[in-house]
Chain A
Amino acid sequence: MLKCSLDKINSVFEEIAKTAKLYIPADDKDGSAVYKQWENGIEWSSSLNTVRSPKDFFLPQMENLMEFKTEGKNIEVIDNRCETEDFVIFGVRACDVKSFEVLDRVFLSEPVDSYYASRREKGVIVSTACSKPSETCFCKTFGISPEEPEGDVTTWKTEDEIFFKANTSKGEALLEKLSAYTEECDETVVTEQKEKISAIMAKLPLKDLKTDAFGGGKTEEFFNNPVWEELSGSCLGCGTCTFVCPTCQCYDIKDFNTGKGVIRFRCWDSCMYSEFTKMAHGNNRITQKERFRQRFMHKLVYYPENNDGMFSCVGCGRCLSKCPISMNIVKVMKKIGDVDA
C-alpha cells in the first residue's frame, strides 16, 4: 500500500502523462463530470460519475477499420490502423471497471477483436473507491465492491490523501514510476474508508434490488410476459441508454464513400433503433416492444446464460439519470422480476 498527499496529485498526473496519455474525470461547464485528457490546469473532479462511460476508450463510438481505393477497375485495400499509444484512465468507478470484464468476454473471446484487444493491452486502469455514489447507483446488486474496486491499480481518496494498491503487473509498473511521490503506509486509513463506503451504500435507495429472479435459462419465463407491452409503451426508442451504458457493445459496420475511396468504419449501434439488425427480409424485432425487451433480456438473461451467470449490467445508474422519460432497468427489474425493493 502506497500513499501520497492530494496536494501532490497534479505532480502525479504530470509524471504519468510523461509516458502515456492520461484521462481523468474533470468537471464540464454544466458541472457534470466527463473524461478529459489531462494537461496542466485540468482538475480532477470530485465526482467519479462521468456522463459517458470509460467504455469509449476501448470501444470508441466510431473507428475506421480499413479503406478501399479504386483506380480504374482495380481495387486497393488499405489497413489504416495506427499503433495504439499507451494510455492511463485514472479514477474509474468500481462499476465501470467491472464493465470492462463484460466487454472482454465479448471481444476477447474467439475470434478476438484485434482493434479492441490492442487498446485493452495498451490501457492501464486506475480505479478509485467510490465514496460518493449517486442515488441511481446499484452496483451492489451485481456483487460489485465499490469499497475495493478492481483495475490495474486501486486507489482510495480521503480528504487530503490518496492511497494506491497495484493489482497487476501493469499496475505495479505504473506505481513504480510514481515512487518519487508516494510512500509506503499501512491499511488503517483505507480500512476506515472502506467502512465509510459500506455505510453509505447501506443508505442507497436501491440497495435492496436483487437479481435472484434473473439469470440464464429464464428466457421462456419472461419472454412473453404481457408487462413488456406496458413498460415499453413510454419508450421513445432514442438509444440514449445504450450510448451511455458501459456494457452495451453492439456495433454496426458501414462504408462511407468519400469520393476518393471508401472508408469502412464501425460505430455503436443500438438495439433501440428500428434499423438494428435489419436483414434482407426486414426486421425481426418489429415494434419498440421487441426492441425494448431485447435490451433488458440481453442484460439480465441472455448474457448470463452465455457467460457463467455474469449479468451485463453493472448498476452504474447512467441510464437512470439520462433516459428522457425515466424508464430504466431498475423499473424493468422490479416489474418483470416482481422483485420487491
Chain B
Amino acid sequence: MQRVGVFVCWCGSNIAGTVDVEAVSEALKNEPGVVFSTNYQYMCSQAGQDMIKEAVKEHNLTGIVVCSCSPRMHEATFRKTAAAAGLNPYMVEIANIREQCSWVHKDIPTGTEKAIILGKAAVAKVNLNTPLTPGESPVTKRALVIGGGIAGIQTALDIADAGFPVDIVEKKPTIGGKMAQLDKTFPTLDCAACILTPKMVDVAQNENIRIFSYSEVSEIKGFVGNFDVTIKKNARFVKEDICTGCGACVEKCPMKRVPNEFNLGMDNRSAIYIPFAQAVPKVATIDPNSCNMLKNGKCGLCAKVCAAGAIDYTQKDEYINEKYGAIVVATGFNPISMDKFDEFSYNQSKDVITSLEFERLTNAAGPTAGHLERPSDGKSPKTIVFVQCVGSRCDACAEKGKEYCSKICCMYTAKHAMLVRDKYPDTEVYVFYIDVRTPGKNFDEFYRRAVEEYGVKYVKGMVGKVTPEGDKLKVQASDLIEGKQLHIDADLVVLAAAIEPDKSARPLATMLTASMDTNDFFTEAHPKLRPVESPTAGVFLSGACQGPKDIPETVSQAGAAASKVIGLLAKDKLTGNPCVAHSNELMCNGCSSCERVCPYGAITYEDKEFRMPDRTTKIRRVAKVNPAVCQGCGACTVACPSGAMDLNGFASNQIMAEVDAICK
C-alpha cells in the first residue's frame, strides 16, 4: 500500500470559485492509502511546492496526488517537485479539477462532487503506480541526410561545422537539386548557381561530409541514436575515385541523342555524361539505358579515351551499411505532371512550358545559352502569358491538382516576368493570377516593381484555355476586374505548375515509420512548436519534403534541422520516456499480434528458454519491447489477447482502478 499525500489547489478562485476545496481535501482523506490531505491557494507556486516537499518528508509519502489544473499544464512541475523531495517523479498523479471541472461546471455542489470523484480516481491510480526509470541508449555520432538539394546541403554543412560526420545520399549523379537548375533567385535576383555552387564545393571539401551520389537508401533499421542504414550505390560504371571529370569521354561518346534530364528534355546529352559543369562530385556517369557498350557490348569508346582509366563496364550496384544517430529527410519536390490539364495544351504545343522549363530557357547554362527562344522554332517570343496556380488550390474531389497553395509560384512568376521585361523590353508580358501572395521580406516590393517599374500586365482571372493556332497560342481569359473577355495571341505560355513531394518520399517514410499527410508531405511533430522534427524520434525534416518552401525558408529550416541534429548528437546517451510498453514473458504466446500494430517497429521476438514447474525446460517465442523505440501509445496492449503486454504509467489495472473509482 502506498502512503499517499493529496494536495488540492485553489488556483486562486479559478478552482476554489466552483469547487469547495476544503471539502475535497477532507473527502479524499478517507480514501485507501491516503495519509495526508491538504489544500492551498497556489500549489504550483514555490510555497506550494515546498509544502509538498515537506509533507513528503514528514509523512513518508510514497505517492502524490495533486488536484489542480490539467496535467498538460503542471504535471512536469509536480514531477520535478517530487524528484526534489526524493520521490520517483512518476509517483505523481494529477486530478484535473480546473479545465475539466471548475471551469466547465457552474455550481459548487456539482463541481465539488465531481472534483472529489476525479480525486478518488487519481488516488486509485497512484496506489498502483510504480517507480519508473527512463531507459538509456547510446548515440552514434553520425548523421544521415537524404537528399542533396539546397536543404540537404545546408543541413549537412551545418552539422559538419559542429564537428559531426555527415553522409549525404543523393539519387542523382550530382548534388545541387532543383536550385542548380534555377536561373536567378527572388527577391534579390542573385544568380542561383553563384550562391549554390560554392556551397556544393564546401560540401565536397568538408572532411566531415561524405557524398553518396547516384545512391538510394534501401533499408533502415534501428531507432533514434542507433539507426542502421543500408545505402545502395547504383553502378555508374565509372570509378568515382579515379575519374577527374575532364569530360573527354562525354565528348567522344557517339550516343548523343539522349534527352537531357537536367534541361528537362529540352536538349540532348550523351550516354556518358556529367549533368552540368559545376556538378559535385564532378564525375561522369554512364546511363545504362542508352550506352551501346552496356546494352550490346559494342562501342567502348569512352574507356579508350579515358586517360585515367576510370571506366568500368562491369561495375555492380554496391550496398553500404552504416550506423547513424540521426536522419534528416530532405527529399524535396517536383512540379506535377501537366497531363491532366489539357485546356492549356501543354502536350499539344512545345511553346507551352512549365516555369521550371522557363528557368532552363533563361539560364545561361541552359539549352539556349540564356537566349529566350521559343522551343518550337527558336524565335524570340513577343507576347508571353504566365498562368498562375496551375494545379494548385484545387478541390480535393477534382482529382486534377493539389489542394494546397504551392507557395513559391507567385514570386518566381513575378521574377520571370520582370526578367523578361528587363532583358527584352519590347516583349509583352501578361500574368494571369487568382491572388498574388507575397508574404515575405521584400516580397511584395518585388512584385510591385514587376508591375510598376517593369510594366508587367497583371490580370485578375484564370486562363480558360490555350489553343495552338498557326505559330500562335490563342489564350482565352477573363479579366475579372474589367469584366471583359481577353483573347491574346501569345508566343509562349508559361504554366506555374503546382509542386508535389518527390515520389521517393513515400517508400522512405515507410522505411522510417515517419508519418505523412495525404499529399505525401512529411508530417512534423508539431506544426508550430516542433516544425523540423518528424513524430518519429531521431528523424528530422528539411526543406520542401515537409511542405512547399522557397529558398530562404528552406535554408532556415535546414539550419533548424541541423541544430536539432547537433543537439541530439551532442548527447552521449539518450534518456527515454519510461512510459513504454513491456511484455510479461511468462504470459506471452509469441503470436505476433502486438508486433503487427506497433507503429514504430519497437517489438521483436526472441526464443527464450523457460524452466517449467515440472523441472523441464521449454523454448518459447516471446515478444520483447525496445524501450528506446517504443513511444508508449499502447496499441500493443489491446492487440495482446492474453494481457501479457502492458504499458508503464497507464497499466491496465491502473485504468481499471480509475474506472472503478469513477463508477463508485
Contacts and interface: CB of A to CB of B under 8 A. Distances in A.
B613 interface: yes
B602 to A, nearest CB: 31
A286 interface: yes
Nearest to B613: A286
A286 B660 contact: no
A259 B663 contact: yes
Contact of A257 (B612, B613, B614, B660): B660
Interface in A262-317: 282-283, 286-287
A260 B614 CA distance: 42
Interface in A35-78: 70-73
A71 B30 CA distance: 8
B60 to A, nearest CB: 18
- The majority secondary structure among interface residues of chain A is loop
Interface in B431-450: none
A72 B30 CA distance: 5
B298 interface: no
Contacts of B614: 286-287
B25 to A, nearest CB: 14
B72 interface: no
Contact of B660 (A70, A72, A259): A259
| Count class of interface residues, chain B | under 10
Interface string B7-46: 0000000000000000000000010100000000000000
A260 B120 CA distance: 13
17 contacts: A70-B32, A71-B30, A72-B30, A73-B30, A257-B660, A259-B660, A259-B661, A259-B663, A259-B664, A260-B664, A282-B613, A283-B613, A286-B612, A286-B613, A286-B614, A287-B613, A287-B614
Contacts of A282: 613
A71 B32 CA distance: 10
Contacts of B613: 282-283, 286-287
Q: Which of A70, A257, A259, A287 has the most CB of B within 10 A?
A: A259
A282 B586 CA distance: 14
A260 B612 CA distance: 40
A123 B663 CA distance: 40
Given A259-B664, A286-B612, A286-B613, 14 more contacts: A70-B32, A71-B30, A72-B30, A73-B30, A257-B660, A259-B660, A259-B661, A259-B663, A260-B664, A282-B613, A283-B613, A286-B614, A287-B613, A287-B614
Interface in B450-478: none
A283 B612 CA distance: 12
Task: Name the prevailing secondary structure of the B interface residues.
Answer: loop
A239 B596 CA distance: 34
Interface of B: 30, 32, 612-614, 660-661, 663-664
B52 to A, nearest CB: 23
Contacts of B663: 259
| Residue among B613, B660, B661, B664 with the highest chain A CB neighbour number at 10 A | B613
Contacts of A71: 30
A71 B29 CA distance: 11
A35 to B, nearest CB: 36
Contacts of A70: 32
Nearest to A290: B614
A287 B615 CA distance: 11
Nearest to B30: A72
A282 B612 CA distance: 12
A143 B663 CA distance: 56
**Which 4 pairs between the two chains have the least Cβ-Cβ distance?**
A286-B613, A259-B664, A72-B30, A286-B614
A254 to B, nearest CB: 17
B127 to A, nearest CB: 13
Nearest to B615: A286
Contacts of A286: 612-614
Contacts of A287: 613-614
B341 to A, nearest CB: 65
Interface in A64-103: 70-73
A154 to B, nearest CB: 49
A234 B663 CA distance: 44
Contacts of B664: 259-260
A257 B657 CA distance: 11
Contacts of B660: 257, 259
Contacts of A257: 660
A70 B660 CA distance: 16
A73 B614 CA distance: 44
A286 B614 CA distance: 6
A72 B31 CA distance: 7
A302 B70 CA distance: 63
Nearest to A285: B613
A259 B121 CA distance: 12
Interface string A239-273: 00000000000000000010110000000000000
A294 B396 CA distance: 70
A69 to B, nearest CB: 12
Nearest to B612: A286
Contacts of A259: 660-661, 663-664
A278 to B, nearest CB: 11
Nearest to B660: A259
A223 to B, nearest CB: 16
B168 to A, nearest CB: 58
B36 to A, nearest CB: 14
A155 B205 CA distance: 108
Contacts of B30: 71-73
A25 to B, nearest CB: 39
A286 to B, nearest CB: 4
B565 to A, nearest CB: 51
A73 B32 CA distance: 8
Nearest to A284: B613
A283 B614 CA distance: 10
Nearest to A260: B664
Nearest to B29: A72
B616 to A, nearest CB: 9
A71 B660 CA distance: 17
Contacts of A73: 30
A260 B613 CA distance: 39
A283 B613 CA distance: 8
B501 to A, nearest CB: 53
A70 B34 CA distance: 14
B63 to A, nearest CB: 18
B46 to A, nearest CB: 33
A73 B664 CA distance: 17
A282 B613 CA distance: 9
A271 B32 CA distance: 35
A257 B30 CA distance: 17
A4 B499 CA distance: 98
A282 B614 CA distance: 12
A50 B646 CA distance: 44
Contacts of B661: 259
B112 to A, nearest CB: 18
A73 B29 CA distance: 10
Nearest to B659: A259
A285 B663 CA distance: 39
A75 B87 CA distance: 31
Nearest to B614: A286
Contacts of A283: 613
A88 B263 CA distance: 100
Contacts of A72: 30
Nearest to B31: A72
A262 to B, nearest CB: 12
Nearest to A282: B613
A230 B352 CA distance: 85
A165 to B, nearest CB: 54
A309 B422 CA distance: 118
Nearest to B663: A259
Nearest to A283: B613
A104 to B, nearest CB: 36
A286 B612 CA distance: 9
Nearest to B616: A287
A71 B27 CA distance: 11
A257 B32 CA distance: 13
B551 to A, nearest CB: 63
